[in-house]
């Protein structure tokens, strides 16, 4: 096959995988089941849109939440990819159509990333193409997209193959190569994408990466390899410092509910939320459901039939002939992640005795580890396919093609069945404007300050203690009010929740004190005898701005370095 034809074939395969995984998008609207996350992420997109239009960049406090009271979701939740749908909203694309375009784009990017990286991880093209299809069409990934609407988690699938490529090159490239240290940039890119899309997936991935490096102990504990890993860590920290600094600042200094997890009670709760072993084999069961004990009321939780078959075939081949250490490690990691996703894994005991599992227990739901299972099983399948094709027996090539085509066919069939079941059972919503979205739907309310109640969304400050009060303007996170206070020093309530970064000024630009008011709304101290406008706006602390400059400088230096000496991928 000539290079042009091969190039065209590759792009057609990428398009096919991306489009097949997007089949449910052809139906009217999108599933909007209230206990899933669709409206949460639609509010994130709208919040970024409004923040950008008001001049915020990067957006930190999203003003649209809680009927305009504001919510610091962008500080705790990486949202770099959400600027794409936010731009569509800015130019007037309807809410649900914007979201569907975003899903299609994510599916195509995931297919491209998988194909690009798997081709460089594996020796044979057929290994890469097979893994791309079973990875992109994995049942759990489809559940993430179309049932859970877990934007951060399904976007993270773009970057798992990039991380795998970086690890492979760091561990198995020749350390004597003059370009060896450039392999760190691949891992940095993958980890940056993960950090900027889903923090919980990042926590899980760091743990699994550490375990993988330990299992490949001989390849890891070489001076240049350790330095390359350290370089990747430092690059990742610098590039993402603009996200880490506000995140850590709020996590430590703002008493939000997100900082209260990880105790023994939570571990017991997430263990009970784990997938049941029986669910792993429920390939054609109901796809909609809730996180409850009754298995008949649960949503589908399985990596899918094609990946399960691939795992079984790899296990048999390993036992009968291809006993290679890399196959062993990938198999161990596949089964470990499957185990950690179930209610059989001893989350409560481990969390009670180790700080590590106090952190890992923050994943909320153990079945999130199915995302890692999908990745490791796909890598295992590709590695085993390479091993079989390396066998001198040429009959294996025909067998590999038959099995590969069969697994791809199974993936396509199960995706089609998934789409049909989705069409039958989904709760259709088709929001045109953001007014139709519930801005008070905030999941577990992790980023609310302690003491804040959701009833605050209905509260409208009237300020009867002042002689005169008028809400003159609200523009994103900037509020201007007119007050008249002829008596002693008093306060004015502002219709924004009081998070670090808000500052208040009088007409002469003098700074005024801010305090927590009713349900943590902003109270601005009004001086005795003051009459005039008071402006409250969100101002990013100097440390945040410095971190942004450092990240920008780091990105520029990396780009300059890549242009001078492109890393071989």
pLDDT for residue 302:
93
Nearest C-alpha neighbor of 417 from the set 302, 280, 295, 283: 283
Biggest CA–CA distance in the chain, Å, is 95
Asked, as a colleague might, if the bond just before 58 is cis with ω within 30 of 0, I would say yes
**What is the four-CA torsion angle of 321, 411, 191, 291, rounded to 10 degrees?**
-110
Between 3-20 and 95-121, two packed helices, what is the crossing angle to 10 degrees?
Answer: 140
Distance CA(62)–CA(72), nearest Å, equals 6
**Is 146 in contact with 175 (CB distance < 8 Å)?**
no
pLDDT for residue 286:
83
Distance CA(497)–CA(511), nearest Å, equals 19
pLDDT for residue 362:
74
Q: How many residues does the chain have?
A: 569
Distance CA(543)–CA(77), nearest Å, equals 19
Domain ranges of the chain: 3-425, 459-538
pLDDT for residue 297:
83
Distance CA(159)–CA(411), nearest Å, equals 21
Residue 429 forms beta bridges with which residues?
30
pLDDT for residue 568:
57
pLDDT for residue 353:
66
Q: Which residues lie below 8 Å from residue 436, measured CB to CB, with a gap of 6+? A: 95, 429
pLDDT for residue 352:
63
pLDDT for residue 264:
36
Q: How far apart, in Å, are the Cα atoms of 130 and each of 136, 137, 526?
A: 10, 11, 67
pLDDT for residue 269:
61
The alpha carbons of the chain give a radius of gyration, in whole angstroms, of 26
Count of Cβ atoms closer than 10 Å to residue 533 Cβ: 14
Distance CA(205)–CA(190), nearest Å, equals 11
Q: What are phi and psi of 439, to 5 degrees?
A: -75, -10
Q: What are phi and psi of 11, to 5 degrees?
A: -65, -35
pLDDT along the chain (569 residues), means of 10: 80 96 95 87 93 89 88 90 95 95 97 96 94 96 94 96 96 88 94 94 94 94 94 96 94 76 46 84 86 82 94 93 92 95 82 70 85 97 93 80 94 95 91 86 81 84 86 88 86 90 90 89 89 91 95 92 68
Residue 468 forms beta bridges with which residues?
484
Terminal Cα distance for the chain, rounded? 22
- pTM of the model as a whole: 0.91
Using a 10 angstrom Cβ sphere, with 0-12 exposed, 13-18 middle and 19 or more buried, the burial of residue 459 is middle
Nearest C-alpha neighbor of 197 from the set 257, 154, 136, 141: 154
Helices (H), 151-296: 151-156, 160-172, 183-195, 199-215, 217-220, 223-239, 241-253, 264-272
pLDDT for residue 351:
65
Fold of 459-538: Immunoglobulin-like (2.60.40)
**Is 349 in contact with 253 (CB distance < 8 Å)?**
no
Distance CA(54)–CA(567), nearest Å, equals 39
Structure tokens at 541: 């602390």
pLDDT for residue 265:
39
């Amino acid at each position: 096959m000539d290079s042009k034809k091969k190039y065209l074939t590759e792009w057609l395969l990428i398009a096919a995988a991306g489009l097949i995984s997007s089949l449910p998008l052809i139906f009217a609207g999108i599933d909007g089941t209230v206990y899933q996350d669709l409206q949460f992420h639609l509010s994130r997109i709208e919040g970024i849109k409004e923040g950008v239009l008001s001049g915020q960049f990067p957006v930190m406090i999203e003003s649209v939440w809680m009927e305009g009271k504001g919510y610091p979701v962008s500080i705790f939740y990486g949202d770099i990819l959400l600027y794409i749908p936010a731009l569509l909203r800015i130019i007037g694309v309807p809410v649900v159509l914007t979201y569907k375009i975003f899903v299609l784009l994510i599916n195509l990017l995931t297919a491209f990333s998988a194909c690009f990286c798997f081709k460089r991880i594996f020796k044979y093209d057929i290994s890469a193409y097979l893994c791309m299809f079973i990875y992109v069409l994995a049942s759990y990934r489809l559940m993430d997209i179309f049932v859970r609407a877990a934007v951060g988690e399904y976007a993270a699938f773009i970057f798992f193959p990039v991380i795998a490529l970086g690890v492979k090159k760091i561990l198995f490239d020749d350390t004597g190569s003059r370009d060896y240290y450039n392999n760190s940039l691949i891992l940095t890119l993958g980890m940056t994408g993960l950090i900027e899309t889903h923090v919980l997936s990042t926590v899980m991935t760091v743990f699994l990466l550490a375990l993988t490096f330990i299992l490949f102990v001989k390849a890891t504990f070489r001076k240049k390899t350790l330095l390359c890993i350290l370089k990747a860590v430092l690059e990742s920290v610098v590039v993402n410092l603009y996200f880490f600094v506000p995140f850590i600042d709020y996590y430590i200094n703002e008493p939000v509910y997100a900082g209260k997890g990880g105790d023994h009670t939570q571990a017991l709760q997430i263990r009970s939320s784990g997938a049941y072993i029986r669910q792993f084999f429920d390939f054609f069961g109901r796809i909609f459901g809730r996180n409850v004990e009754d298995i008949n009321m649960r949503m589908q939780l399985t990596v899918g039939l094609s990946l399960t078959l691939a795992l079984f075939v790899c296990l048999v081949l390993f036992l009968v002939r291809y006993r290679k250490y890399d196959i062993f490690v990938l198999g161990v990691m596949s089964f470990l992640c499957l185990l950690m996703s179930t209610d059989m894994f001893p989350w409560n005991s481990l969390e009670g005795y180790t700080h590590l599992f106090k952190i890992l227990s923050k994943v909320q739901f153990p079945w999130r580890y199915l995302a890692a299972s999908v990745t490791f099983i796909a890598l295992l399948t590709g590695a085993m396919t390479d091993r079989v094709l390396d066998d001198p027996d040429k009959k294996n090539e025909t067998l590999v093609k038959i099995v590969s085509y069969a697994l791809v066919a199974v993936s396509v069939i199960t995706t089609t069945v998934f789409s049909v079941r989705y069409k039958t059972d989904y709760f259709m919503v088709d929001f045109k404007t953001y007014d139709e979205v519930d801005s008070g739907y905030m999941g577990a309310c992790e980023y609310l300050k302690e003491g804040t109640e959701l009833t605050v969304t209905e509260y409208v400050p009237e300020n009867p203690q002042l002689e005169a009060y008028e809400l003159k303007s609200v523009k994103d996170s900037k509020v201007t009010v007119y007050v008249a206070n002829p008596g002693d020093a008093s306060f004015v309530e502002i219709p924004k929740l009081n998070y670090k970064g808000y500052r208040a000024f009088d007409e002469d630009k003098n700074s005024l004190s801010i305090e927590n008011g009713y349900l943590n709304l902003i109270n601005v101290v009004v001086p005795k005898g003051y009459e005039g406008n008071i402006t409250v706006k969100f101002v990013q602390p100097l440390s945040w701005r410095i971190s942004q400059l450092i990240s920008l400088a780091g990105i520029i230096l990396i780009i300059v370095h890549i242009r001078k000496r492109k890393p071989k991928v």
